[in-house]
Amino acid sequence: MTEQNYQIALRALVLEQQPLWWPVLDQWISRFGGWWAHEHDESRDPAWAIACQALLRDPLLADAHRAAHFLAMLPFNRWHAATPAGRRWNPVNESFAPFVARVMPEGVVTFVAPDFETLRSTDTVKWLWARWLSEYAKRMSCDSQHGSRW
């Protein structure tokens, strides 16, 4: 299955399980785009496949805060990048490609952290949870304007 097919499959899966998560996951996973190609010199981004396989195995929980914790522990969240001068990429702040463009010609070193960094995990959970709450608020606002509840 291609990366685009995994993205489509993940979208269908998330919309079936917990639809408010789709815009959040789409934005978050997209931020890892290009990291794998930079690290492995391969033109693919397996983050979509990793997320899809994880959610096939363990569907998203109705408890969105617990779901954010689960998602933050997906293996691609251990993908890191930094410059020799110590500037670090953080996917909750920006996508990988703009980070690389911003720090060039300094150069970028990519690596997989041996374990989940507490700060990365904590920041990711907070970011995912905040984005989900935003989607929830949008949904509630839209429903109240149209007089319906889901």
Q: Which tens digits make up the pLDDT trace of 38-56?
A: 999 888 889 999 999 999 9
More confident residue, 53 or 145: 53
Q: What was the pLDDT predicted at 147?
A: 62
To the nearest whole number, what is the mean pLDDT of the chain?
Answer: 92
What span, in angstroms and rounded, lies between the C-alpha atoms of 109 and 35?
A: 10
- What is the token pair recorded at 106? 């300094």
* Contact assessment for residue 113 and residue 82, using Cβ atoms and an 8 Å cutoff: no
pLDDT single digits (tens) 107-120: 999 999 999 889 99
Q: What was the pLDDT predicted at 43?
A: 80
The pLDDT > 70 percentage for the chain reads 93
Q: pLDDT category, 2, cuts 50, 70, 90?
A: confident
Question: How many Cβ atoms sit within 10 Å of the Cβ of residue 135?
Answer: 17
pLDDT score of 144 more than 90: no
Q: What was the pLDDT predicted at 35?
A: 96
Identity of residue 108: V
Q: Where are the beta strands (DSSP E) in the chain?
A: 79-82, 109-112
